[in-house]
């Protein structure tokens, strides 16, 4: 094993450096070019006094510079903290104050101007385009200096969960964890230098980072998209003959609405497509069953990585997210009961895994449960296991509202509405009510046929949804408001 993740990646590409490593915005970069640009950036960063332990914030969309910065931080031993560029200025300020970086690189000069007045003067703000120019300079690394720069257990990446709420939980990953996660995924999905991986998830999200590392460490080609658009995704998949992807469910739903995508998966072009949650419609599952493409479901979290997988076929239990992967253990915890880990009882999903994150940055305490000398991470997710060891996801622990003293899980309502074949997307939220305190409300997106009907008679569609729910849910679970939308707004992560 090499001394850091960048050197480990370099070792795998020996003799293959002329091969295309990344495709971005129509431009192909071979690995030798990626390595040269990264080395030039390392020199620039060391001149800016970046060293092991330095925290660097990056505010930008997906781009080649983001890749170079992550690799450079791996060599130096710095902590790279990509931040969602769709956050408003106040949310971004909260993120930066939580991270407390020494260097902040941003794509937008406006963001730099606004943040420069709010953040500590000890933070050096630099426009991305200015530092990006240094990546094109010829460079020779001082190998003696670089050999002393970092260790495998040094912090590499920081991602923030709950970043849009103003209460970020900064999740820190070491180089070792990112390497172990990538190698596990490469083994599970049988990736090789013949693989072409397509990714539209942002690099500030752990799923986007997963795509990057599994591609680079398997010497695959990575098609990196700046943002997701179903038609662009399909165009790129066809042009570059993509054969592996882990799209989030919202992206997958959008793709399934395109006839060209159905043609691709029925052709067997993809060796595997992995869904990152268990919210697939019956229509989607039907098409999957007819396709030679292998479809998989997985469950996990940023903090623990992938915990379970399942192949979606006629033999797999309906709605299960699978069994624990090698070296992972799952425990279902019931706070107010002595029936922990008994079968078919919903409780909090707890996981112990060698792929777990390092820590939360700062004073945020890691929620753990000690069982037989193992520290299980308490995910905050609800689920249950059957007597064959298959896990079923049941929503978030905090994904509920108190309706007149009764706890209502919003995921139950969401899953019920999704059983209507004309519902394309749905969001259930809790809203204030004078009498009950909180009540559920539903926002739905219809298929094209029912959108046309709703234009003429929206009330008719809403009554149809309400009647279906009334026959499938308890009275206290029924949404007090149902509204139809053209689409639902999404973060860049989907």
DSSP string, 143-183: HHHHTTS--TTSEEEEEEETGGGT--EEEEEEHHHHHHHHH
**Going by DSSP bridges, is the β-strand pair 374-385/368-371 parallel, antiparallel, or unpaired?**
antiparallel
> What is the arithmetic mean of pLDDT over 251-268?
91
Q: Mark residue 373 as left, alpha or beta (left: phi above 0; alpha: psi -120 to 50; beta: remaining).
A: left
> What is the arithmetic mean of pLDDT over 325-354?
83
C-alpha span between 315 and 327 (Å, rounded) = 24
- Would you say residue 318 has pLDDT above 60? yes
C-alpha span between 452 and 426 (Å, rounded) = 18
Which of 37, 87, 38 minimizes the C-alpha distance to 60?
Answer: 87
* CA separation, residue 371 to residues 89, 303, 306, 333 (Å): 42, 19, 21, 11
Task: Provide the 8-state DSSP code for 317.
Answer: P
What percentage of the chain reaches a pLDDT higher than 70? 90
The count of C-alpha atoms lying within 13 angstroms of the C-alpha of 325, restricted to the half-sphere facing its C-beta, is 23
Phi, psi of 65 (to 5 degrees): -60, -40
Burial of residue 361 (CB within 10 Å: 0-12, 13-18, 19+) is buried
Task: Give the model's pLDDT for residue 117.
Answer: 72
Q: Which helix (H) or strand (E) holds 295?
A: strand 294-301
Burial of residue 36 (CB within 10 Å: 0-12, 13-18, 19+) is middle
Task: Give the model's pLDDT for residue 275.
Answer: 85
Task: Give the model's pLDDT for residue 412.
Answer: 82
Task: Give the model's pLDDT for residue 494.
Answer: 61
Task: Give the model's pLDDT for residue 198.
Answer: 98
β-pair partners for 426: 444
88-122 residue pLDDT tens: 788 788 889 889 999 999 999 888 888 877 787 88
357-374 residue pLDDT tens: 999 998 778 889 888 888
Residues 6+ apart with CB under 8 A from 103: 48, 50, 54, 55, 56, 57, 123, 124, 126
> What is the arithmetic mean of pLDDT over 296-310?
92
C-alpha span between 29 and 136 (Å, rounded) = 13
What angle, rounded to 10 degrees, do the helices at 175-189 and 206-217 form?
Answer: 70
**Going by DSSP bridges, is the β-strand pair 437-446/481-485 parallel, antiparallel, or unpaired?**
parallel
- Would you say residue 164 has pLDDT above 70? no
> What is the arithmetic mean of pLDDT over 374-402?
87
Residue with the larger pLDDT of the pair 372 and 20: 20
Task: Give the model's pLDDT for residue 364.
Answer: 75
Average pLDDT, the chain: 88
> What is the arithmetic mean of pLDDT over 215-223?
98
Task: Give the model's pLDDT for residue 166.
Answer: 43
Is 41 within 8 Å of 135 (Cβ atoms)? yes
Structure tokens at 307: 């915990």
Structure tokens at 476: 């206290």
C-alpha span between 327 and 322 (Å, rounded) = 15
Q: What predicted TM-score, i.e. pTM, was given to this entire model?
A: 0.82
* CA separation, residue 43 to residues 51, 140, 370 (Å): 11, 9, 45
Highest mean predicted confidence (pLDDT) among 240-244, 291-295, 329-333: 240-244
- Would you say residue 149 has pLDDT above 70? no
Return the SS3 of 234.
helix
pLDDT bucket at 336, cuts 50 / 70 / 90: low
In this structure, is the dihedral angle defined by the CA atoms of residues 306, 357, 169 and 76, taken in order, positive or negative?
Answer: negative
23-71 residue pLDDT tens: 999 999 999 999 999 999 999 999 999 999 999 999 999 999 999 999 9
* CA separation, residue 80 to residues 50, 53, 186, 454 (Å): 11, 10, 23, 47
Whole-angstrom distance between the N-terminal and C-terminal Cα of the chain? 35
pLDDT bucket at 248, cuts 50 / 70 / 90: confident
Task: Provide the 8-state DSSP code for 56.
Answer: E
Residue with the larger pLDDT of the pair 230 and 473: 230
388-399 residue pLDDT tens: 999 998 877 777
Residues 6+ apart with CB under 8 A from 99: 55, 57, 81, 83, 158, 170, 361
C-alpha span between 310 and 295 (Å, rounded) = 9
Return the SS3 of 409.
strand
> What is the arithmetic mean of pLDDT over 128-141?
81
Rg (CA), the chain: 23
Which of 355, 276, 282 minimizes the C-alpha distance to 310?
Answer: 276
Residue with the larger pLDDT of the pair 86 and 467: 467
- Would you say residue 465 has pLDDT above 80? yes
Torsion over CA of 311, 312, 318 and 323, rounded to 10 degrees? 10
pLDDT bucket at 145, cuts 50 / 70 / 90: very low
β-pair partners for 246: none
Task: Give the model's pLDDT for residue 396.
Answer: 76
Our CA angle for 389, 392, 398, nearest 5°, is 130
């Amino acid at each position: 094993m090499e001394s850091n993740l960048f050197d480990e990646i370099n070792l795998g590409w020996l003799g293959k450096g002329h091969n295309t490593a990344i495709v971005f915005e129509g431009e192909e970069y071979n690995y030798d070019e990626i390595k040269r640009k990264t080395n030039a950036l390392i020199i620039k960063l060391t001149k800016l006094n970046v060293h092991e332990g330095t925290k660097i914030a990056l505010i930008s969309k997906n781009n080649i510079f983001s890749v170079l910065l992550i690799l450079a931080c791996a060599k130096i031993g710095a902590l790279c903290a990509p931040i969602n560029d769709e956050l408003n200025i106040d949310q971004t300020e909260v993120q930066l104050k939580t991270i407390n970086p020494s260097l902040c690189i941003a794509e937008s000069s406006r963001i730099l101007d606004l943040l420069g007045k709010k953040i500590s003067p000890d933070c050096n703000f630099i426009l991305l385009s200015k530092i990006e120019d240094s990546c094109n300079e010829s460079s020779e690394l001082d190998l003696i200096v670089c050999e002393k720069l970092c260790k495998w257990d040094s912090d590499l990446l920081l991602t923030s969960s709950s970043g849009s709420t103003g209460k970020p939980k900064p999740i820190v990953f070491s180089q070792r964890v990112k390497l172990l996660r990538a190698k596990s995924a490469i083994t599970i999905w049988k990736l090789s230098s013949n693989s072409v991986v397509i990714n539209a998830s942002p690099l500030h999200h752990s799923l986007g980072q997963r795509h990057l590392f599994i591609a680079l460490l398997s010497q695959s080609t990575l098609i990196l998209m700046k943002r997701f658009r179903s038609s662009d995704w399909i165009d790129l998949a066809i042009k570059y003959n993509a054969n592996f992807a882990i799209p989030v469910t919202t992206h997958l739903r959008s793709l399934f609405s395109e006839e060209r995508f159905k043609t691709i998966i029925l052709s067997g072009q993809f060796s595997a497509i992995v869904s990152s949650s268990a919210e697939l419609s019956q229509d989607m599952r039907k098409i999957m069953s007819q396709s030679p493409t292998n479809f998989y479901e997985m469950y996990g979290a940023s903090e623990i990585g992938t915990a379970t997988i399942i192949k979606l076929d006629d033999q797999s239990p309906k709605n299960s997210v699978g069994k624990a992967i090698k070296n992972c253990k799952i425990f279902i915890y019931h706070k107010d009961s002595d029936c922990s880990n008994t079968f078919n009882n919903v409780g909090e999903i707890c996981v112990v895994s060698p792929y777990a994150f390092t820590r939360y940055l700062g004073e945020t305490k890691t929620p753990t449960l000690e069982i037989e000398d193992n520290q299980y991470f308490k995910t905050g997710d609800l689920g249950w296991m059957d007597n064959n060891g298959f896990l079923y996801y049941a929503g978030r622990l905090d994904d509920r509202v108190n309706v007149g003293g009764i706890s209502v899980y919003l995921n139950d309502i969401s899953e019920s509405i999704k059983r209507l074949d004309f519902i394309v997307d749905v969001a259930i939220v809790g809203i204030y009510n004078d009498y009950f305190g909180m009540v559920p409300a539903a926002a739905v997106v219809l298929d094209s046929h029912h959108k046309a009907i709703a234009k003429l008679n929206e009330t008719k569609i809403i009554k149809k949804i309400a009647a279906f729910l009334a026959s499938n849910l308890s009275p206290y679970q029924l949404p007090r408001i149902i509204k139809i939308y053209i689409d639902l707004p999404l973060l860049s992560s989907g």
